[in-house]
Amino acid sequence: MKQIADLIGLEADRAAEAALVRGGELERSGAVQLVRFSPSLITAEVDDGAAYVEFRVVDGVLRWYCTCAEGRGGALCAHCVATAQSVRRRTDRKASPGMSSPTSSASTARITL
Ligand SMILES: [Zn+2]
């Protein structure tokens, strides 16, 4: 079974262009605060109208939810994309000790994998 981070990455690759661009901006600006990070559930707060994003794996299928209008309609919105990129960045770098890189003041959330 795939990891939730892999499933999220695959889904984000299929997101609409506008959501990808906006989501990337949000992620780089440090708007994403990952709240929970577990093998079946990832939640985050995105500081763009205070959106709340949730990714969940149910029976091997990725489901997501966001409190914004697009997200409530079932779209993979910019907040979901931003969260996906944040997840990808963290899982790519989980070997690095600490989070003291001067260029990544993006998020202060501490994630224990
Ligand atoms: Zn949203």
d(CA 68, CA 78): 10
110 domain-assigned: no
Give residue 2's identity as a one-letter amino acid code. Answer: K
pLDDT per residue as tens digits for the range 41-75 = 999 999 988 899 999 999 999 999 999 999 999 99
What separation in Å is there between the alpha carbon of 72 and the centre of ligand 1?
8
What separation in Å is there between the alpha carbon of 1 and the centre of ligand 1?
27
What separation in Å is there between the alpha carbon of 103 and the centre of ligand 1?
26
Contacts with 96 (C-beta within 8 Å, 6 or more apart), sequence order: none
99 domain-assigned: no
List Cα–Cα distances, 7 to 30, 34, 97, 103, 104, in angstroms: 23, 17, 25, 27, 24
What separation in Å is there between the alpha carbon of 97 and the centre of ligand 1?
31
Q: Note if the pTM is more than 0.75.
A: yes
**Strand-strand pairing, 41-46 and 51-58:** antiparallel
The number of distinct structural domains making up the chain is 1
113 domain-assigned: no
69 domain-assigned: yes
pLDDT per residue as tens digits for the range 12-41 = 999 999 999 999 999 999 999 999 999 999
What separation in Å is there between the alpha carbon of 96 and the centre of ligand 1?
30
75 domain-assigned: yes
